[in-house]
């Protein structure tokens, strides 16, 4: 089964296999999913979302929950997407939470709070967070998932300037 499906994987391939084949095979595919992902060289990330502002009723809302799931699955192909916007709303205490789950974090998403705009428009000290994860040797992905606080070309320039500012610790 693994050899058959490993070549067919896409971003949603494993989920599609479970849905399409379903029935009595679903538990087998769910159990094999981390193994199949590993064989295919893929990583699935779990993203805790805030249940108060953006995702009411969401089950996975805190990084410690995602960390426990990753440790239970115990696969290099199942990791955490730590969306700092959501975690500031849900938990705060960002750097200690990063440290507590660091071994399972593969991806950070950036968006300031409130407003989910570029760094520097809210309360999150992204310069300090970037400095911290850089010092830890983070070599995963840092993604931008936010809007612009200003429209047009001026807004695009503001986003670039914001990232230059939060990256400036490298030159300090």
pLDDT in tens, 13-59: 444 444 444 455 556 556 656 776 777 778 888 899 998 888 888 88
- 118 catalytically annotated: no
Instruction: List, for residues 68-104, the tens digit of each pLDDT value.
Output: 988 888 888 889 999 999 999 999 999 999 999 999 9
Please identify which of the residues 91, 104, 118, 145 carries the catalytic annotation. 145
Does the annotation mark 145 as catalytic?
yes
Q: Is 79 helix (H, G, I), strand (E, B) or coil?
A: strand
Is residue 103 a contact partner of residue 93, using CB atoms and an 8 Å limit? no
- CA-CA distance, 102 to 104, in Å (whole number)? 5
* pTM: predicted TM-score of the whole model, two decimal places: 0.79
Choose the catalytic residue: 47, 118, 123, 156: 47
């Amino acid at each position: 089964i693994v050899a058959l499906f490993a070549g067919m994987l896409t971003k949603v391939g494993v989920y599609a296999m479970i849905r399409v084949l379903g029935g009595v095979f679903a538990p087998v595919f769910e159990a094999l999913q981390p193994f199949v992902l590993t064989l295919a060289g893929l990583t699935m990330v779990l993203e805790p979302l805030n249940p108060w502002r953006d995702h009411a009723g969401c089950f996975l809302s805190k990084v410690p929950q995602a960390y426990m799931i990753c440790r239970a699955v115990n696969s290099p192909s199942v990791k955490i997407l730590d969306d700092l916007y959501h975690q500031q709303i849900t938990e705060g205490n960002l750097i200690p939470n990063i440290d507590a789950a660091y071994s399972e974090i593969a991806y950070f998403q950036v968006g300031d709070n409130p407003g989910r705009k570029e760094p520097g428009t809210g309360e999150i000290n992204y310069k300090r967070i970037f400095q911290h994860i850089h010092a830890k040797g983070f070599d995963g992905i840092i993604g931008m998932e936010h809007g612009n606080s200003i429209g047009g070309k001026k807004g695009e320039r503001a986003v670039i300037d914001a990232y230059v500012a939060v990256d400036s610790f490298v030159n300090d």
